[in-house]
Amino acid sequence: MQHFFELNPFPTEIAPGDTVIFEFMIAPARKGITSITFTYIETGEQASLTIELTNGPPTQPLPFHAAIQGQVTTSDGTPLVDQEVIVYLAINMAIDFRTRTDHQGRYYLEAPLIDDIRQMLGTRPLPYTQIGYTLIVAREGYKPEYREHVDPTSRATVNFSLEPVATRSYRLTGEHTFNAPHGYFWIVQGPGFEQLFAVQGRHPPELRVPGHIIAIDRQGNEQWRQPTGDECWGFDVSIYGTVAAGCHDSKVYLRNASGNIYATIATDQMDRAVRFSPDGQTLVTGPLANNDAALLDVRTGNMLWTYKLPGEMQ
């Protein structure tokens, strides 16, 4: 299930005590009730929003008046037998149709017309980035292929020619074990893949216990460790190997590849976003000191500018 609010394409104001309905997926729904608590920074007051996931009204099955057909081959023209072809109705819509190729690599699949789908959905704002079919073919040893925005008025022909990829072998060069309440939330390689950097975190429920940032070499040997007061969801490594972590202990940690501290910056609230500029000289992060975003000088930790959305209610 994707994030609830990201799938709603239009703003909605909810007055105290009111109820609004967000449509966010056409699929077998998962039922349940959850509550989100908001704290107003200026006053310390709290408000809550209750969200109930429920099934929508039943709809009549659409007739299959469209068809998609084609052939799946390798780049040298060899038919791929018993190859799965997946057809998605829309990017954010959890509905798909599947079929397999015959002994000549041919496939045939019936589906609803796009016009019938649009008529069923109506004129309300929709949470889908597109209404049209996306076809995907994936096979081990070949580059995956896909086609977007397929709109068969009656019948569409979509062929696939898969390019082989070189096989690679892997071997274990090292490993690192740890004993801590969190897992490693992000693992990012340093310049030249000479180091791996990782930070600890987990999805809710939060434990509110310390974690750490760690650097290891390619053999799994620990090079340095930076304790943190809580888990960290924001993490990035610059082109120079500088490490930044935005953490739930209301701090941003900046360390170089050798583990020396550039700065530990108090954000006055939970920080979840850090990103280096392409030249590695500045870092954007937020929220910080009642601002939505701030740009920091990596060498000093000083703020270069801050930004706050106009009229935003915290």
- Check whether 25 has a pLDDT greater than 80: no
- Check whether 1 has a pLDDT greater than 50: no
Q: What is the C-alpha to C-alpha distance for residues 283 and 155, in angstroms, rounded to an integer?
A: 52
- Check whether 290 has a pLDDT greater than 50: yes
* 74 and 134 inside one domain: yes
* 119 and 216 inside one domain: no
Q: What is the C-alpha to C-alpha distance for residues 13 and 269, in angstroms, rounded to an integer?
A: 26
SS3 87: strand
Q: What is the C-alpha to C-alpha distance for residues 266 and 287, in angstroms, rounded to an integer?
A: 11
* 123 and 204 inside one domain: no
Least confident of 71-80, 98-107, 253-262, 303-312: 303-312
Residue 295 is part of a domain; what is its CATH number?
A: 2.130.10.10
Eight-state DSSP code of residue 71 = E
Q: Is residue 187 part of a domain?
A: yes
* 210 and 291 inside one domain: yes
pLDDT in tens, 26-57: 455 567 788 888 888 888 888 888 888 776 65
Average pLDDT, the chain: 86
Least confident of 26-35, 146-155, 167-176: 26-35
Q: Is residue 252 part of a domain?
A: yes
- Check whether 94 has a pLDDT greater than 70: no
Q: Is residue 58 part of a domain?
A: no
pLDDT for the residue 125: 66
CA dihedral 233, 239, 243, 244 (to 10 degrees): -50
Domain boundaries, position 49: 5-53
* 76 and 31 inside one domain: no
Q: Is residue 153 part of a domain?
A: yes
pLDDT mean over 172-189: 90
pLDDT for the residue 8: 61
